[in-house]
Copies of this chain bind each other. A is one copy, B any other.
Amino acid sequence: MNDVDVVVIGAGLAGLSAARALIAAGRSVRVLEARDRVAGRNLGGTLSNGVPVEMGGQWIGRTQTEILKLVDEFGLQTFATYDDGEAVTLYQGNLTRYGDETFGLTEATAVEVGRLQAELEAIADTVSLSSPWASDRAAELDRRTVDEWLRANTDDAEALAFWAAVVPAVFSAEASEMSLLHFLFYIKSAGMIDILVSVTGGAQELRVVGGTHQISERLAAELGDGVVTLDAPVHSIAHDDNGIRVEYSGGALSAAYAIVAIPPTLAGRLRYRPAMPATRDGLTQQIPMGSVIKIQVAYPAPFWREAGLNGFALSLDDPLSVTFDNSPPDGSCGVIVGFFEGAHARIAAGWSPEERRAAAVAALTKLFGPQAAAPIDFVEQNWMEEEYTRGCYGGRLGAGVWTQYGAALSEPVGRIHWAGAETADVWNGYMDGAVRSGHRAAAEIIDRFDS
């Protein structure tokens, strides 16, 4: 008697992957999407010269096998992020070029950073990906912040400045804003720190020709007409032993099960009848989204390549702290992508677009020389302002949250199941994790139909 077997809330990679798996298992599905587009944190954009640039998630690493499978199935092409030549690091006004594993740090600091990394990874290795709260020493690791651990373990100011750029580069949040357990879980979920921060061999290795948002568009198209409803923000989910009834702008529908495939903090803003149990609700009160403004600065050509630079830069001095070469595959123009992240993003959000552009260009000029001062285009995306995302790259867990609320991330409440990159145990927070989470939630429901 239900309108469909399963209603999915959110047409990002998680929701669409779940819908696809359910339909493949013979189930009827409706996907309700608040926005006027699919793809969630993936968003296509273009420079004024027509070159496509991604305003949201863009990179794929070779160990991200679930998202790569989709790319392959849909016949999308990938290309390697430009990675020839040397990188640069700016610290206290000193610009260092490097082609080795030092991150451009002074020798002693590079050794110290390596020691800290090895120590963090050794602890991370003891963390359970499926049940972080049940890890050895979970209570202690969850009580401490990453910032506190770093300061307790080194006095090297340059090393601390390095981590103060790298932690926000990965999390869009400051080291003080997440528990050590969350950091350790997350790095293990991705395969440890080198994979997270690297281009070749890491999470930034590949790009999709035309943009990653196409993956969601292809998924949605394949689901068929009438499966995905856009402009349909969900307001309430009534649920009982017999089923689900969802009310959204423009309508209502009934289903046997629901998958909520939006970030936990947004899931907490839906109205549930009956209301969520305290643990689930408390979880959604405590997974704030990261803070990032992604900018792209275009030039007539990727001039840094001629200088032997690969476009990867860390500035420990500037609010724009991380950059990569984001030029199109044909090199027809040069594009640098950079990020205001964490505390920098929150400050830069208070500036005008012109001020952000000026700050970005000033940083790029220090990093790549005077040619960086004359861009031909500048585009930006402030994910904090997006009502239906409210921050990127994803949600983080502060001190105490994993151990006291973590199980509620993916544990169904009655007939409501949960998906989204934040619920993944492999590649948590990434496109790959989003796809995995959708498959996991779909499998849970297929099992319930079958039993």
Binding site for B on A (CB under 8 A): 143-145, 147-148, 174, 176-177, 233, 235, 265, 268-269, 271, 275, 277-279, 281-282, 285-286, 288-289, 291, 343, 346, 349-350, 382, 384-385, 387, 390-391, 398-400, 404-405
Contact = CB atoms under 8 A, between A and B. Distances in A.
Contacts of A271: 233, 235, 269
Q: How many copies does the complex hold?
A: 2
15 contacts: A145-B145, A147-B399, A148-B148, A176-B399, A176-B400, A233-B271, A235-B235, A268-B269, A279-B350, A281-B390, A282-B291, A286-B288, A343-B404, A398-B398, A399-B399
Given A398-B398, A399-B177, A282 B148 contact: no
A288 B400 CA distance: 12
Q: Which of A285, A286, A390 has the most CB of B within 10 A?
A: A285
A289 B285 contact: yes
Q: Which of A143, A233, A288 has the most CB of B within 10 A?
A: A288
A398 B396 CA distance: 13
Contacts of A177: 398-400
Contacts of A235: 235, 271
A245 to B, nearest CB: 16
B404 A346 contact: yes
A291 B281 CA distance: 12
Given A235-B271, A398-B398, A398-B399, A277 B145 contact: no
A382 B278 contact: yes
A176 B143 contact: yes
A66 B207 CA distance: 61
Given A145-B399, A275-B385, A282-B384, 13 more contacts: A144-B148, A144-B176, A174-B399, A176-B399, A177-B398, A177-B399, A275-B387, A278-B385, A281-B390, A282-B288, A282-B390, A285-B391, A398-B398
A34 to B, nearest CB: 10
